[in-house]
Chain A
Amino acid sequence: MSTKTSQSIYQQFQERVGLGQIGLYLALGGLLAFYLLPIQSGLVTSIKTSEALIATQPFAPPGPDGVTLEKWEFAFSTLSHGLVNSLLFTIPATILCAILGSLAAYGLTLVKWRGQVFVFVLFIAGIFIPYQAVVVPLTQLWSQYITLEAWFGLVLTARSATLIELIITHTAYGIPICTLLFRAQYKTMSWEMIEAAKLDGASTWKIYKRIVLPLSIPMFAVVFIFQFTQIWNEFLFSLTLIGSVSDPAASATLILSGLGEALEGTDYPLRMAGAFITALPTLVVYLLFADKFAKGVQV
């Protein structure tokens, strides 16, 4: 009796799910493990004591007596001012390049003029520029020619001067991708509505403020999410413009790159804890707004 029912359940199951389905979910699950394994291993390692690190497998959680939050505490105390600095330049730069990108996309899409495409191509090519090709002049620029600290020494500390340099730099290099993202949306916008507004005598600026801007709010969300993670994760400008890990303006990624270097050998649990603390803001933003991030990637 019981075997009969279980058999029929199995048959039903097979009919409904099918062997192909099982294979599909196995493949998807295996891939899930592949993508999560380095992260998972990092997470369990970050809470291990040095004894547990030796005693347990790298992917296995430690036993109850092998757990310590010491590494997290030390990593946080080392990284905390870096996290503040990163936020201080990431947020303004994100907002600025979103606004400028939206304005540029509007000027290059909804107001038609000849030669538009050429200017747009110059914007697009700016997305793909290898930063290596500008980084030497950039350090020259900020150390020899535009010396904010010397000019505004009365109101700016060395730290805030460096942060402003980073804001301007990140804004400038973020504009191209933001322009591309906004333009992709503006190209699909209803042309008639804007023509109608024009006939009613609305100025170019008014059309932007009253029609285009409200309609671009979803795209602003995409750009904020995407640019925030991009600028937060960035390393090359931090390394070259800030210069040293001990600088008061050092960003989170810069401090992480040298975390625990003075200690003997690499302290893996400390490194893992530091990696998670540094990644936390982007991780939260990504997991909350994964769809928007994916949209930002797609264009």
Chain B
Amino acid sequence: MKDIFSYLYKVYKKRQVRTDGGVTEETAVNNSWRQLPIVQSFPFWGPPFILMGFFVYAAVTWNFALSLTEFSGFGDPDYSNLGLQNYATMIQDPTFWQATWHTVILLVVFTVACLIIGLALAILLDREIRYGNTFRTIYLLPFALSFIVTAQFWRWMYNVNDGIVNQFVGLVGLGPYNWLGDPRLVLGSVIFALVWQFSGYTMIIYLAALRSIPRDQYEAARIDGANTLRMYRRVIIPQLKPAMVSASVVLMLFALKAFDFLYAVFDGYRPRQGADILATMMMREGFNNSEWAYSSTIAITLFVLSLGVIAPYLYTEYKRGNL
């Protein structure tokens, strides 16, 4: 044992001497791969990459393999007989198309609403305001809460008999409505609650972008005689495009995976009719119905949709040299 250590120490010593002193041809070769930046940096990014890569990329690949099996119920998946039958079932499943349609509505309406409200909040707050930070903190507060928590609040807000929302619409002589029970209203109600939770996030993104615009551009626009509306439309908002793009990517990807809120608001895997999205359908097929292979198939669909959002974004960021 001792010998090994002394040998290793000698080798180590030698290497140190070599780097300082003359370099023989052999050590030059030896050193060159050791000195390669990729080798030098591997101890730093390697372990996190392996852990993350296994849980993300290996798991997605595994999920794809599962989607090709007939795995359901208890027991183990059989990987010997793989086929695309689940995908065939999926495209003939009316529930799947309905869930896809709801996902699309959620994605579009939710993203657009968050972008508009977030922009309005950011423009309001982007000036000298007393307690400006307090306003900002409170607008962002819902975003810091768990969906399971906010879902409890909104169940109460949307309550048919005692809910605040029905009291509000009652003021103008409407309702009461069954916000979370009526198939025509339920998706809108869910979107409204999610916008409440996420608009603060968009505000923060816009606010950071607004604050990076030099003040003299506002002055210049004023001197040119532009009114406030015109100034924002012509000068300020065009410069917010990068912030808008990155916020929409985050919002759209969230819309694709929104599950927690729906689970908590409807007390389980089955959302009220009219609010079933792909994310909830996937979880229900797997963890409620034990149709694991079919569940994985929908999961792969969700993954591909997410890739469709994230890939163009990362590509343009790469082209711009932002990565």
Give chain A's interface residues, CB within 8 Å of chain B: 24, 27-28, 31-32, 34-39, 41-42, 45, 53-54, 57-59, 100-101, 103-104, 106-108, 111-115, 117, 119-126, 128-138, 140-141, 144, 169, 171-173, 175-176, 179, 204-205, 208, 229, 232-236, 239-240, 253, 256-258, 261, 266, 268, 271-272, 274-276, 278-279, 282-283, 286-287, 290-291, 293-294, 297-298
Contact = CB atoms under 8 A, between A and B. Distances in A.
Contacts of A114: 38
A107 B43 contact: yes
B260 A111 contact: no
Interface stretch (B196-204, B216-224, B233-241): B196-204
A166 to B, nearest CB: 13
Interface in B103-157: 121, 124-125, 129, 133, 135-150, 152-157
Given A130-B303, A233-B146, A293 B55 contact: no
Given A59-B164, A104-B48, A131-B257, A136 B299 contact: yes
B60 A133 contact: yes
A92 B259 CA distance: 25
B299 A129 contact: no
Contacts of B256: 130
A275 B204 contact: no
Given A172-B55, A204-B40, A274-B152, A136 B286 contact: yes
Interface of B: 36-38, 40-49, 51-57, 59-60, 62-63, 66, 76-77, 121, 124-125, 129, 133, 135-150, 152-157, 159, 162-164, 167, 196, 200-201, 204-205, 208, 249-250, 253, 256-257, 259-260, 263-264, 267, 279, 282-283, 286-287, 292, 295-296, 298-300, 302-303, 306, 309-310, 314, 318, 323
A264 B314 CA distance: 50
Contact of B260 (A205, A236, A271): A236
A276 B148 CA distance: 11
B228 to A, nearest CB: 9
21 contacts: A28-B135, A35-B141, A35-B200, A38-B157, A58-B163, A100-B47, A107-B46, A122-B53, A126-B57, A128-B250, A128-B310, A132-B302, A132-B303, A204-B44, A233-B145, A253-B146, A256-B264, A257-B264, A282-B144, A290-B133, A291-B133
Contacts of A119: 45, 49
Given A132-B299, A175-B48, A235 B323 contact: no
A2 B283 CA distance: 71
Given A121-B314, A132-B257, A233-B147, A294 B156 contact: no
Contact of A39 (B54, B124, B153, B263): B153
A44 B155 CA distance: 15
Contact of A107 (B44, B135, B295, B303): B44
Contact of A266 (B48, B147, B155, B204): B155
A29 B228 CA distance: 22
B293 to A, nearest CB: 9
B133 to A, nearest CB: 8
Contacts of A53: 162
Contacts of A106: 41, 44-45
Contacts of B267: 257-258, 261
A229 B146 CA distance: 8
A62 B293 CA distance: 51
Given A121-B323, A283-B144, A134 B55 contact: yes
Contact of A172 (B54, B149, B299): B54
Contacts of A126: 52, 56-57
Q: Which of B153, B164, B256 has the most CB of A within 10 A?
A: B153
A125 B314 contact: yes
B309 to A, nearest CB: 8
A28 B306 contact: no
Given A275-B152, A294-B136, A103 B48 contact: yes
A296 to B, nearest CB: 10
Contacts of A59: 164
Contacts of B208: 298
